Amino acid sequence: MILIQDTIVSLEVIEKEFCCDLDTCKGCCCIEGDAGAPVTPEEEELLNAMLPELLPHMTKEAREVVDRQGIAYNDPSGERVLSIVNDKDCIFARTDHNGWCYCAIERLALPFKKPISCHLYPIRLTKIGERVGVEYHRWDICHSSRQLGHKLHLPLYKFLKEPLIRRFGQAWYDELCLTADEWKKQMQS
């Protein structure tokens, strides 16, 4: 683990290589799993405000879930997460005629891109004492993305540059890059 400003970053974030391989997975991370993506109170408020624009682009089943429980719920650990359909599909997930999954929020080009937990994936943010932990989440469905990242020699933190800057800021990201460079030099010597 390394300390970047007030966060604790797993070494895997700088050591692992990753690049989403949408040609292979077709975005299945939005329709697999047993809980919704984590959502902050601010994101939940924004999504509720945008709901009138989003509802016509959501599936009938997703609209029914939203009617019953809202756009988010508390998972078994007490974390606030997006609601899901059939115990797996995100309410904002849609599938096109080619079988590709896409996000209704992104498709509408709204001012709010999507929840930061979705944008950062496969990085997950955790609570480590009073600090935020920045950790790599390894999921079997991302096997081809790990292979593609390795083929491209693309470190996870570089693949996720935009969402990391969105969440932590440019100065944080610059410090992460400097630390990663130093770490790699140490590993090579």
Q: Where are the domains of the chain?
A: 1-18+122-189, 26-112
Q: Is pLDDT at 10 greater than 80 in this prediction?
A: yes
107 pLDDT above the threshold of 90: no
Q: Mean pLDDT, the chain, as a whole number?
A: 91
Torsion of CA 56, 59, 64, 65, to 10 degrees: -110
pLDDT band for position 186 (50/70/90)? confident
Place of tokens 């080619």: 98
**Tens digits of per-residue pLDDT, 116-151?**
998 999 999 999 999 999 999 988 888 889 999 999
Taking alpha carbons only, the member of 189, 136, 177 closest to residue 17 is 136
Rounded mean pLDDT of 98-104?
Answer: 86
